[in-house]
A and B are shown apart, each in its own frame.
Chain A
Amino acid sequence: MADKPSQTHTGPIAYEPDQTLREIIGKDTKLSEIFTPERIQACQKTIADARDSFFTVAEGDIVKLEKLASDHVMAPDISDDIFEDVSMLAGNIKGHADLFGFTLVSAIGKHIISFCELKVRSPSTRFRVIADLIKMQRVAFNHKVMDERGALAKELATSLQKFLA
């Protein structure tokens, strides 16, 4: 596989399609012989099992978020490190929820991350909003809200936009 483009020509360059992956698996190998229905079915089951256990597996992250919220919500100032910790945990939940289309949980995670990065309000104000969003996330977890059509996530986004306006 190529590692560096040519530096000699200044205009656009079109490199021939890279066939490395095809060469590795064999030019005559049919992909249907590798990705068999049995394999695809087993993978779909792996995804379904992970989806079923999402709220249990992600529980650890929300417990950590709740601890951070209760420890710092009354603090007069919040350090960037705390916001970063919150953002990482919220991102972990968001990325996980996204895989299964759990729109509300994903949206709450996204809004928590946004408020961690938003610089238009004071850190303590932002953190109070984050603490409320974490409470909302807890409710979504307790009721295992999947919101696959995204209606609740849209409603939440509208409310937050009004708050920021």
Chain B
Amino acid sequence: MPKIIKPDAKLERINVLLVNGSTHASKLLEDVLSGLGFSNVQVVNDSSDVIKTLKRRVIHLIVTDGELLVRKKRVPGMEGADTPRPEDLLPISGIEFVKRLRQSPHSPSPFVPVMMVIGKEDEALLRRARDAGVNEIIVKPLAADDICERISGIIDDKRFFITAESYKGPCRRRERKPLPAGIEDRRKTDVRLVRRRELHDNLRGS
């Protein structure tokens, strides 16, 4: 008889949103996350449900698929329009979904950590995921220890969240290496640092 692993009390208050167009894949990922101790895992297979969910409740972590089609139709919320535009009727990839989540002015949760599951060690795909604003990437085939490592990486992520014209997401530099000689460090001059208290004050005021 299989041994039943109970949810972890410390993970009970973490709301996880699992976005995957494949129902079988969603079920397995849900089982794995539950097995790791997460008890609040909500599964959605359509991006319209993602937006509705993000508007209704606080989500602490999104787990999504990079390549798999996430249906875009009937998703006016992200564009701020009342009716979907013709191009909204096409399917979108998980990478495009994250880009919109981070960059759309109508996004309900641009800062939420995102963990993306991608099909294989494809450098171009990895780069696209990173540039979309993904926090951590799991490369298939699935391995439980890898999933744990990535979740741990998100929990203790020490990277700043950057919003710039061309990018919104966690800082893409994982290591703080010195810049090459002759290159000016824009971070010291152009970048405005927002402390957490200031951010929360701004949010309360807006």
- Residues of the A chain whose Cβ atoms lie less than 8 Å from the Cβ of B186: 12
Residues of B within 8 A of A94 (CB): 22, 68
Q: Does B133 make an interface contact (CB < 8 A)?
A: no
Size of the chain A interface, CB-CB below 8 angstroms: 56
Contact of A101 among B21, B29, B140 (CB under 8 A): B140
What is the minimal beta-carbon distance from B5 to any residue of chain A, in angstroms? 5
Residues of A within 8 A of B84 (CB): none
Residues in B with CB closer than 8 Å to A121 are: none
- The CA-CA distance from A87 to B92 in the complex, in Å, is 13
Q: Is A25 an interface residue (CB 8 A)?
A: yes
Whether B10 is near chain A, meaning CB under 8 Å from some CB there, is: yes
Q: Which of A1-43 contact B (CB under 8 A)?
A: 1-7, 9, 11-22, 24-26, 29, 31, 34-35, 38-43
Q: A4-B110, A44-B143 are in contact. Are A39 and B21 (CB under 8 A)?
A: no
Contact A4 B206 (CB under 8 A): yes
Give complex CA distance A9, B164 in Å.
10
User: Are B143 and A47 in contact (CB-based, < 8 A)?
Assistant: yes
A17 near B161: Cβ-Cβ < 8 Å: yes
Chain B residues in the interface with A (C-beta under 8 A): 3, 5, 8, 10-11, 13-14, 20-25, 28-29, 31-32, 35-37, 58, 60-61, 65, 67-69, 91, 108-113, 117, 119-120, 140-145, 147-148, 151-152, 154-165, 168, 171, 186-187, 190-196, 199-200, 202-203, 206
Closest 5 CB pairs of A and B: A95-B22, A101-B141, A43-B144, A12-B164, A96-B24
